[in-house]
Amino acid sequence: MAAAVLAAARLLRGARAGGSRPRFGPPAHRQFSSGGAYPSVPLSSPLPGVPKPVFAAVDGQEKFETKVTRLDNGLQVASQNKFGQFCTVGILVNSGSRYEAKYLSGIAHFLEKLAFSSTARFDSKDEILLTLEKHGGICDCQTSRDTTMYAVSADSKGLDTVVGLLAEVTLHPRLTDEEIEMTRMAVQFELEDLNMRPDPEPLLTEMIHEAAYRGNTVGLHRFCPIENIPKINQEVLHSYLRNYYTPDRMVLAGVGVEHEHLVECAKKYLLGAQPAWGSAGAVDVDRSVAQYTGGIVKLERDMSNVSLGPTPIPELTHIMVGLESCSFLEEDFIPFAVLNMMMGGGGSFSAGGPGKGMFSRLYLNVLNRHHWMYNATSYHHSYEDTGLLCIHASADPRQVREMVEIITKEFILMGGTVDTVELERAKTQLMSMLMMNLESRPVIFEDVGRQVLATQSRKLPQELCMLIRNVKPDDIRRVASKMLRGKPAVAALGDLTNLPTYEHIQVALSSRDGRLPRTYRLFR
């Protein structure tokens, strides 16, 4: 007790030693306090004498426009600045499976697997990856029907190294016999996996394109046919690369980089570069325009053992019905995109929330009313000269005919009355998905590259949102009515015993109500 009293006395003496005011007395006057210094200034007004705050503005490096520069050899350099330590840079080439009509089908598939292998400067793929690791980088190559994309994400300080590496990978691949043999094995495995996986969507997409564009452009096989695997060698690959990997068919795109620096790097590594296949110019470029034919592709298959286990997936038959829409260069592309969002759909297992499609037509009219349907989803594939709007549906093999009729009815209803509420919901959802996807740097990179490759410029997100807002119900009815005048494309996979004939599906899509013609059997 005596010790506590002594300690308290020492504290009081120390407090008084610094000044005449007691330690715990009233506080002294402080500048900029909320008390009596500014008693009459409301909280909504700035305080007098306080420096004016400086806020970050959208200017300088962070401008919205995409800058595009064309080099002397025809190669385009496009960039979009974005704050951050990392950048995404890549080369997009106007090549893909649609240009393989005069070649062995599957070359683009092989080139995708051979990407980032050994080059003139780098002895192996491991050496490339180690070079990227120094800048925290990763790499990827993706091939679609009309575009091949080599991309790298890395620290912005390593831009010079990254562009040099991309130039090596694109123009100077070694394509050794050992690498081609390894690629043959990888392609073989991917084809086996494609036929075994429970999700049939990639295979059905391949089939619907084959049916819609029989034997031409985007209807050519995106995956290498199994009989062509042993036939593709270095000579075949060089013959294709010589015609399609030319500077005038390329775009060097970057996000998170300064445009002038990117152009300097492009001039250093891509201007005047001699490719590994020689400097001879392109002589045999396929400039064919897609010819929509319509038709049907069927693949009869036992789907009962697709997914074995304690809770196997039930045996299903998968149908995809499509009609020609338009290219992404046409004005009707935006109404078609809104129509696709309005149809929506998905799997019956989970509808998601209100913002994920549970109020779309294929949920309200199909999945919610017909419990036996496992899937009903709308897809829209668009290219520079054509497009395809299709609906994928799955059900028990015994109910295939009824399922097809439900889908044809939904196609007919597209050309009917469009409710204002559902249209506004579809437009809002489309704008939301657009803006959320464009928050990702790699997605911005792909958007910049693809748009500049196709149109030599880029429409900004706010421009696209304005076009989406301007879509009216009449626009939806107009594009749907135009689409319904064409022939259908049909892809069917599984047990097809009860599949209606192609002629009956065509009649249903030409009718007023979408009903299939009645069939009568004498014997069952």
Q: What is the pLDDT of residues 49-82, one digit of tens each?
A: 888 877 655 554 445 689 999 999 999 999 998 8
Q: What distance in Å separates the CA atoms of residue 240 and residue 29, rounded to the nearest whole number?
A: 82
Contacts of 429 (CB under 8 A, 6+ apart): 341, 355, 357
Identify the three-state secondary structure at position 492: strand
Residue 399, pLDDT > 50, answer yes
Q: Give the DSSP letter string of 67-102.
A: EEEE-TTS-EEEEE---SSEEEEEEEES-SGGG-TT
Please give the DSSP secondary-structure letter assigned to residue 113.
H
- In the 3-class helix/strand/coil scheme, how is 422-486 assigned residue by residue? HHHHHHHHHHHHHHHHCCCHHHHHHHHHHHHHHHCCCCCHHHHHHHHHCCCHHHHHHHHHHHHCC
Q: What distance in Å separates the CA atoms of residue 185 and residue 188, rounded to the nearest whole number?
A: 5
Task: Give the pLDDT confidence score for residue 61 in this predicted structure.
Answer: 41
- Mean pLDDT, residues 410-415 taken together: 97
- Sheet strands (E) in 168-215: none
The residue among 262 and 357 whose pLDDT is bigger is 262
Do residues 294 and 212 make contact, with C-beta atoms less than 8 angstroms apart?
A: yes
Task: Give the pLDDT confidence score for residue 2 in this predicted structure.
Answer: 52
Band the pLDDT of 522: cuts 50, 70, 90: low
Please give the DSSP secondary-structure letter assigned to residue 161.
H
At 266-304, the pLDDT tens digits run: 999 999 889 999 876 667 889 999 999 999 999 999 887
Kindly list the strands in the beta sheet with 138-143, ordered across the sheet, starting from the edge strand earlier in the chain: 67-70, 76-80, 250-255, 86-93, 148-155, 138-143
Residue 3, pLDDT > 80, answer no
In whole angstroms, how large is the CA radius of gyration of the chain?
31
Q: Are strands 148-155 and 138-143 parallel, antiparallel or unpaired?
A: antiparallel
At 30-40, the pLDDT tens digits run: 454 445 566 78
Contacts of 144 (CB under 8 A, 6+ apart): 96, 222
Q: From residue 59, how far is each of 62, 78, 246, 397 by CA, in Å?
A: 5, 19, 36, 60
Residue 9, pLDDT > 60, answer no
Task: Give the pLDDT confidence score for residue 355 in this predicted structure.
Answer: 52
Contacts of 132 (CB under 8 A, 6+ apart): 138, 139, 152, 154, 162, 165
Q: What distance in Å separates the CA atoms of residue 231 and residue 239, rounded to the nearest whole number?
A: 14
Residue 28, pLDDT > 60, answer no
- Mean pLDDT, residues 316-320 taken together: 96
